Amino acid sequence: MAFLEVENVTAGYGNGPDILKGLSLKFEQERTYCIIGPNGAGKSTLFRVICGLLHPRKGRAVFKGEIISRLRTEEILRRGISFVPQDRSLFPDMTVRENLRMGGYILKNRRELKDRIEEVFRMFPILKERSSQQAKTLSGGEQQMLATGRSLVLRPTVMMFDEPSLGLAPKVAQGIFECIHQLKNEGMTIILVEQNARKGLECADWGCVLDLGKNRFEGPAKKILDNPRIQELYLGRKPQDRQEDTA
Amino acid sequence: MTHLVQVLLLGITLGGMYALMASGLTLVFGVMRIVNIAHASFMMIGAYISYWAFKLYAVDPILSILISMPLMFLLGLVIYKFLFFKITGSPRYGELTVLLTFSLALIIEGILGFFFTNIYRSTNPSYATDSILFGPFYLPEGQVYATLSSMGLIVLLWTFLLTTRTGYAIRATMQNRAAAQVVGVNVELVSMVAFGIGIALAGASGSMIAYLFPFYPAKHWEWIAVLLSLIVLGGMGSLIGALIGAFALAISSAYVSFFVGPTWASVTFFLALFLILLIRPQGILGKKMEG
Amino acid sequence: MSGNSISHETVYLGNTGAQKKPLFRAKNVFVIVLISTLFLFPLLQLFTGNINYWLHMLLYTFMYIAMASSWNMIGGYAGYVSLGHNAFFAIGGYFSASLLAYAGISPFLTAPVAGLVVMAFGFLVGLISLRTSGPAFIISTIAMVLLIKISFDNWDFIGGADGISLPLIQLHIKWVKIPFYYGMLLIAMGAVYISFRIRHSKFGLGLRAISQDETKAEVAGVPTSLYKILAFAISGLFVGMAGGLWGYYLTYLRPTIFLNIIVAAKLVLMSVLGGKDTVTGPVVGAIIFIAINECFRTYLGFTELNIVATGLLMVLVLLFFPQGIVGTLKELGKLPQILDWD
């Protein structure tokens, strides 16, 4: 049995169509996964299912042998799965410290919460400097750090990042990937959705290609990077073309 | 000169009450994106509660908020559960909330009208008509009490929002509902509680206006229009904006009332509303507002 | 949704080849028969007893059909819910009434002008109100009504809060309702026809795109501001005309009659009940609502309970029946041909 697994999940919003159509994926402990695929492939929806924001219509998500797909987000957070949503998704009018405090919302013990916030500050000293600034005044990179830090308050074992580098300058994005790398070295299980697929795959052990709500292909990240067909379909142009427009 | 200061004082003593009314409305809009057209009809319920409490048991109108607030809180929970649980996530949510609360306002108006008829009523505690004099100025005693109590409730509300865990959750939900869900806030429960608080505040306002302004069931239309102008001016969903809007408009309407005539005082609100829409559609402190 | 409606449109417009006599299709025949019947109906006054009650009910229904269809142009097609259409109603009413009271010109002549005046007013208000959207727009329309109400309450020229009385139309009691009947019938036909034309025009398509996603509509090249303001103004036209006649029909005008928020609520409710965003929805909604309301009035009596019932009905429709009658039937594929003009 895998560490975290989604089995045959079909899911969608409201009365809308199915976004995920019988998706099955397995995630092993202490590894890093990168999920790629075009817009609307269901990447974010998959995350929402795993962290309990969306209950699947069919199928289930299993974590450490326990079915979690009927649990509330709060209960899933308690089990050690954290989610850093797209666009950072902070509380703009709250200070950095208050945002981190919200990260530990489900902790009832104030003392413990305080310690953990200090821990996050040690990891991101810049956040400590800005601790009484409102989140909306932070730069894009700092906001991503805050969003990451907010999830770390709960000391999760699995972290899911939805497009962490979106809208960031390449240099800043690089910092984020380094941070993900560090978390990986600390033994965290990381699932990453990245529009910069090349970058994401480089930082991952395993890659999956999601399209039209189904798992189209999976394999070691290196293999996916080198697969010419996937390159053509999902990775866009070759790296040498790419450098031109970042210059 | 004395006149100008006197009018300013009168405006300020009104402002506190407007601020309380607008706070409840803003809270409900901020957390749930519900434009509660029925807010003022809940105020009318509060007004009737304090009216009968005074008439039957001689309960002081300001103390009667201790009765009206818990009752209204419970009513708020029930109404939220029945009306709004179903429609969360609907693509036409914003519009639906307006239409639903509009219908709710009609229902409350009709029920109040059925039981209490359409005659004007007013609670008459001893201080309702007295004035506090100092130097060349006077302050209507009842208005002062009402404004002070209102400000007291606002301070309580803010303390609650800024220090308690539920307060954090409410503010988080106001600022970013999706992010609040991600960190494990049960936004549905928080919404229900916030709705209850909003309605309880409406009840409190109603209890206080009951002795300052004569009321009848359909009076709420006049109030709601004023309040909606206030929160649009304040940039819907911003509590501080609502406070500023409340005082700004209370004071300007006091001047209009003094210089142009009392009947035109409420015109100030609507003109201000249109002016704001013309110059700065997002309000004083608001970000972009959409359903 | 939109793809679906486009195919409807092509079916409708594409009747040049396969069906050579589009005029005699069942639903066109139905409309011709219906209109002729309605035009001939007052003749019964000659042969049977007094049918003034029925004339009254019908002309009242025509008026609301016209107004609900008009409301639907902005509230349904464009998705901008207005709770302020009674301001248009009042301005139309007072415009014609003043001209009758001070210049002696019959509202039957001035009602169309009243419509145009209201349209111009709607255009001006729209310039401001339609800078916002969603809840803020709705609020601004409510504010518009209250602003007009306060102004009218304090405007002595038109009688202030006491209102204005008009001379009775000089006709025998037996005929007195008939001109109003035809007037309102024409206004209703005009409103429904314009609503139909808009629904099948590029303009209508633009409005419905705005209702779905305004940013996308803008990007796709729809002049959103202009379209919204035009729709708002046009939706005032027939409401203003109806107001002009209704004031004369009542023979007195008071701000509380015309600027009662219930009037605006009815327009919304009728459209939602029948089905917003459809041509026939507001018509069906108006007829059913007035029928139900008349029953309530007869059996319940109390106006307060009437208000409660209106509110409850609205809640139930919104929660359980948001597509309305026409919309729901259409979705189930059970909409009778004669009601399907979308």
Contact check, Cβ <8 Å, B184/A101: no
Length of chain C: 342
Q: Given B86, B114, B291, which is nearest C319 (Cβ)?
A: B86
B284 CA: distance to closest CA in chain C (Å):
14
Select the residue from B183, B240, B288 to test the A interface by mutation, using most A Cβ atoms within 10 A.
B183
Integer angstrom CA distances of residue B65 from B72, B200, C116: 10, 9, 51
Tokens 């007869």, residue located: C298
Does A206 score more than 50 pLDDT?
Answer: yes
Return the pLDDT at A16. Answer: 83
Q: What are C22-34's pLDDT values in tens digits? A: 556 778 888 889 9
The span from the CA of C51 to the CA of C31, in Å, is 23
Most confident listed range (A44-53, A58-67, C65-74) = C65-74
Residue C307 banded pLDDT, cuts 50, 70, 90: confident
- For residues B164 and B247, the answer to whether their CB atoms sit within 8 Å is no
The span from the CA of A25 to the CA of A32, in Å, is 13
Return the pLDDT at C2. Answer: 40
Torsion region of A2: left, alpha or beta (phi above 0 gives left; psi -120 to 50 gives alpha)? beta
Does C19 score more than 80 pLDDT?
Answer: no
B contacts of C319 (beta carbons < 8 Å): 83, 86-87, 100
C contacts of B37 (beta carbons < 8 Å): 142
- Identify which of B54, B51, B30, B45 has the alpha carbon closest to the alpha carbon of residue B78: B45
C108 CA: distance to closest CA in chain B (Å):
33
B186 CA: distance to closest CA in chain A (Å):
8
Integer angstrom CA distances of residue A91 from A51, A103, A147, B64, B284: 19, 11, 10, 37, 20
Return the pLDDT at B289. Answer: 40
Select the residue from A76, A79, A101, A102 to test the B interface by mutation, using most B Cβ atoms within 10 A.
A102
Minimal-distance CA residue of chain C relative to B115: C304
The span from the CA of A136 to the CA of A147, in Å, is 12
Return the pLDDT at A39. Answer: 79
Q: What are A231-241's pLDDT values in tens digits? A: 777 776 554 44
Q: Given B91, B172, B184, which is nearest A73 (Cβ)?
A: B184
Q: Given C143, C144, C311, which is nearest B103 (Cβ)?
A: C311
Contact check, Cβ <8 Å, A89/B178: yes
Does C264 score more than 70 pLDDT?
Answer: yes
- For residues B18 and B249, the answer to whether their CB atoms sit within 8 Å is yes
Contact check, Cβ <8 Å, B176/A73: no
A near C: at least 3 beta-carbon pairs less than 8 Å apart: no
Does A97 score more than 90 pLDDT?
Answer: yes
The span from the CA of C267 to the CA of C86, in Å, is 9
Residue ranges of chain B whose pLDDT lies below 50 = 288-291
Contact check, Cβ <8 Å, B182/A83: yes
> From the CB of residue B119, how many other CB atoms can be counted at a distance below 10 Å?
8
Q: Given A13, A14, A103, which is nearest B183 (Cβ)?
A: A103
The span from the CA of C191 to the CA of C196, in Å, is 8
Return the pLDDT at B283. Answer: 63
C contacts of B100 (beta carbons < 8 Å): 315, 318-319
Q: Is the pTM for the entire model greater than 0.90?
A: no
The whole-number average pLDDT for the span C172-199 is 92
Integer angstrom CA distances of residue B15 from A192, B70, B150: 52, 24, 10
Return the pLDDT at A243. Answer: 45
B contacts of C83 (beta carbons < 8 Å): 98, 102
Contact check, Cβ <8 Å, B184/A93: no
Residue B39's H or E segment, with its range, is helix B39-57
Q: Please, which chains are in contact with C (at least 3 CB pairs closer than 8 A)?
A: B
B contacts of A77 (beta carbons < 8 Å): 183-184
- How large is the C-alpha radius of gyration of chain A? 18
Torsion region of B57: left, alpha or beta (phi above 0 gives left; psi -120 to 50 gives alpha)? alpha
Select the residue from B97, B99, B224 to test the C interface by mutation, using most C Cβ atoms within 10 A.
B99
B284 CA: distance to closest CA in chain A (Å):
16
Does C216 score more than 80 pLDDT?
Answer: yes
Residue B155's H or E segment, with its range, is helix B141-163
Q: Name which residue leads in pLDDT, C342 or B20.
A: B20
Contact check, Cβ <8 Å, C146/B222: yes
Tokens standing for residue C292: 């139900």
- For residues B161 and B177, the answer to whether their CB atoms sit within 8 Å is no
| Mean pLDDT estimate for chain A | 87
Q: How far apart are the first and last CA of chain C?
A: 12
Indicate the burial class of C254 (C-beta count within 10 angstroms; 0-12, 13-18, 19 or more). buried
Contact check, Cβ <8 Å, A105/B91: no
B–C CB contacts, 8 A cutoff, strictly below: 143
Residue A36's H or E segment, with its range, is strand A32-36
Q: What are C310-331's pLDDT values in tens digits? A: 889 889 988 888 888 998 888 8
B contacts of C143 (beta carbons < 8 Å): 225, 228-229, 269-270, 273-274
Contact check, Cβ <8 Å, B171/A93: yes
Q: Given C79, C144, C311, which is nearest B110 (Cβ)?
A: C311
Tokens standing for residue B32: 């749930």
- Identify which of B111, B71, B106, B23 has the alpha carbon closest to the alpha carbon of residue B203: B71
Return the pLDDT at B166. Answer: 94
B contacts of C300 (beta carbons < 8 Å): none
Does the CB of B171 have a partner CB in chain A at under 8 Å?
yes
> From the CB of residue A110, how many other CB atoms can be counted at a distance below 10 Å?
11
- Identify which of A26, A93, A20 has the alpha carbon closest to the alpha carbon of residue A59: A20
Minimal-distance CA residue of chain B relative to C148: B267
Q: In sequence order, what are the residues at sequence separation of 6 or more whose Cβ sits closer than 8 angstroms to the Cβ of residue A20?
A: A9, A10, A11, A12, A42, A45, A46, A49, A56, A213, A214
Contact check, Cβ <8 Å, B182/A85: yes
| Mean pLDDT estimate for chain C | 87
Integer angstrom CA distances of residue C236 from C85, C90, C230, C278: 7, 11, 10, 18
Does the CB of B135 have a partner CB in chain A at under 8 Å?
no
C near B: at least 3 beta-carbon pairs less than 8 Å apart: yes
Does the CB of A73 have a partner CB in chain B at under 8 Å?
yes
Does the CB of B288 have a partner CB in chain A at under 8 Å?
no
The span from the CA of B232 to the CA of B105, in Å, is 20
Does the CB of B89 have a partner CB in chain A at under 8 Å?
yes
Select the residue from A89, A98, A113 to test the B interface by mutation, using most B Cβ atoms within 10 A.
A89
Return the pLDDT at A195. Answer: 80
Please provide residue C104's backbone torsions phi and psi, each rounded to the nearest 5 degrees.
70, 20
Contact check, Cβ <8 Å, B179/A94: no
Q: In sequence order, what are the residues at sequence separation of 6 or more whose Cβ sits closer than 8 angstroms to the Cβ of residue B149?
A: B62, B65, B204, B208
ipTM above 0.90, yes or no: no
The whole-number average pLDDT for the span C203-211 is 94
The whole-number average pLDDT for the span A211-225 is 85
Tokens standing for residue B160: 């609650």
Integer angstrom CA distances of residue B286 from A63, B178, B262, C132: 42, 19, 30, 13
Return the pLDDT at C42. Answer: 86
Residue A193's H or E segment, with its range, is strand A189-193
